[in-house]
Amino acid sequence: MKINIYYGGRGLINDPTLYVINKMQEVLEELNVTVERFNLYELKNNITTLPQTLKSADGIILSSTVEWYGIGGYMHQFLDACWQYGDKEKISKLYMCPIVMSTTYGEREGKLTLATAWEILGGMPCSGICGYIEDIVNLELNKEYAKIIEKKAENLYRTISQKVLCFPASNQVVKSKVSKTQVIDLTPQETEQLSQYVSDDNYVQRQKQDLQELSSMFKDMIGNIEVENGKEYIQDFEKHYKPQPAFKANYKIVIDERKTPLAIEVNGPSLQCEYKTIDGADVEIQLTSHVMNEIIAGRMTFQRAFMGGDMKMKGDFKILRTLDQIFVFAESSL
Give residue-wise pLDDT tens across range 137-191.
989 999 999 999 999 999 999 999 998 887 777 766 655 655 555 555 556 556 5
Q: 2-185: what fold?
A: Rossmann fold (3.40.50)
Contact 28, 63 (CB under 8 A): no
pLDDT at 142: 93
3 state SS of 247: coil
Query: Is 107 buried (19+), middle (13-18) or exposed (0-12) by CB count in 10 A?
Result: buried
CA distance 54 to 45: 18
Q: Which residues of the chain have pLDDT under 50?
A: 332-334
Number of helices followed by number of strands (H, E) in the chain: 12, 11
E strands present in the chain? 2-7, 34-39, 59-66, 95-102, 124-125, 129-132, 248-255, 262-267, 270-275, 283-287, 312-315
Q: Which residues contact 145 (CB under 8 A, 6 or more apart)?
A: 139
Rg (CA), the chain: 35
The pLDDT value recorded for residue 172 is 63
* Backbone torsions φ then ψ of 323, nearest 5 degrees: -60, -35
CA atoms within 13 A on the CB side of 312: 6
Phi, psi of 99 (to 5 degrees): -130, 115
> How far is 325 from 174, CA to CA, in rounded Å?
60
* pTM score of the predicted model: 0.55
Question: Which listed CATH number (3.40.630.30, 1.10.760.10, 3.30.1050.10, 3.40.50.1000) goes with 234-326?
Answer: 3.30.1050.10
Widest pairwise Cα distance in the chain? 111
Say which residues have a Cβ less than 8 Å from residue 65's Cβ, sequence separation at least 6. 8, 9, 10, 15, 16, 17, 72, 100, 101, 102, 103
Are the C-beta atoms of residues 329 and 299 closer than 8 Å to each other? no
Beta-carbon contacts of 270 under 8 Å, excluding residues fewer than 6 positions away, are 243
Domain residue ranges of the chain, discontinuous segments joined by +: 2-185, 234-326
> Residue ranges of the alpha helices (H) in 86-187?
88-91, 107-121, 136-141, 143-162, 170-178
Q: Give me the phi and psi of 269, to 5 degrees please.
A: -75, -10
